[in-house]
Amino acid sequence: MRKIYTAICLLSSLCLGGVAAAAAEKPVEIEYSFDDDADFPGGADLPAGWAQQGAAGFVRSDGTSHGATTHSGDKLIITKGDARFDEVLYTPMLNLVAGKPCTLEFYYLAPGGAVAAVYNVHLLVRAGTGQSEAEQTITIKETPTVATSSWTKHSYTFTPEADGEYCFSLALKPYAPSFTTNCGYAAFDSFIISGTVNEGGASITQDFENDADYPGVATLPTGWLSTGKKPYARLTPADLNISAAAPSGKYVVGAIGPSCDGSSPLITPLFDVKAGEAA
């Protein structure tokens, strides 16, 4: 959101309210089939960018050691043995846009143990701002406590409330706390993640209100600069003899000088911009 305070020459004054630079938005759809060796550097258990936790965890496999077949292609992601119920699989981090839904689709196979009605593995699906359980604060769905004897498609969506980095997690769960052994394997294949991402870096906002941005006797936030005979400084509208209130908060950045002739520029902090991308 762009927020510019009215630029005026009132008693040779010029002022500026909060400003923001927004990153470009781009819809994406990312597929993971787990078949390309190049996605598993050094023979890693998971593709680059994915993460997991658990004493045994997950591994890339063709499934034959478990008696499983893939949903598509030659490889899948599967528990290294029977589920231990400390396993959590994390998708890669994506820089998502607030208010735009992000969807996770995949196929799941977990046929259960000898008595599959109670010895089975279901899923707790969550999202969050990092690849750890503590950061997975958005519960999306806990699936039914039943065995999944054939490849079954799952689809889950959440909408982030703020711009930022997010991922999904899939935690293995038992039928009940007393049914945690001999529950068989759990396998995943054919993932698709779709949503809207921020490109070109995160949004940068400055509303000139935070005292911590003004170290010592600074009159502009860290990284900002103004030169000339009458440089800009953080002031109140009253300091500038302006009757209107600031657009938000208490302060604006303004200059009082003999004229508004551009001889005292206000310079924003430096930032990196890739060729061909809007800033």
What is the structure's pLDDT at 261? 61
Q: Please identify every stretch of the chain with a pLDDT value under 50, giving residue numbers as ranges.
A: 1-15, 202, 258
Task: Determine the distance from the C-alpha atom of residue 1 to the mean position of all C-alpha atoms in its chain, rounded to a whole number.
Answer: 19
d(CA 18, CA 2): 8
Distances (CA, A) of 172 to 65, 128, 183: 20, 17, 11
Distances (CA, A) of 245 to 19, 237, 242, 255, 271: 16, 6, 8, 16, 30
Per-residue buried b or exposed e for 117-131, using 16+ beta carbons within 10 Å of the residue's own CB: ebbbbbbbbbbbbbb
pLDDT tens sequence across 131-162: 999 999 999 999 999 999 999 999 999 999 99
Q: What is the pTM of this model?
A: 0.67
Q: What are the residues facing 124 on neighbouring strands?
A: 142, 171
pLDDT tens sequence across 243-273: 777 777 888 877 766 455 666 788 787 665 6
What is the structure's pLDDT at 235? 83
Return the sign of the alpha-carbon dihedral for residues 37, 40, 46, 47.
negative
What is the structure's pLDDT at 13? 37
What is the structure's pLDDT at 276? 58
Nearest to 140 by CA among 164, 158, 128, 161: 158
Contact 201, 215 (CB under 8 A): no
Q: Which two tokens stand for residue 139?
A: 């519960």
CA atoms within 13 A on the CB side of 175: 20
Please give the backbone phi and psi of residue 133, each rounded to the nearest 5 degrees, phi first: -60, -35
What is the structure's pLDDT at 206? 78
**Over pLDDT 90: what percentage of the chain?**
62
Q: Which two tokens stand for residue 43?
A: 């023979």
What is the structure's pLDDT at 148? 98
Q: Which two tokens stand for residue 4?
A: 């510019």
What is the structure's pLDDT at 19? 57
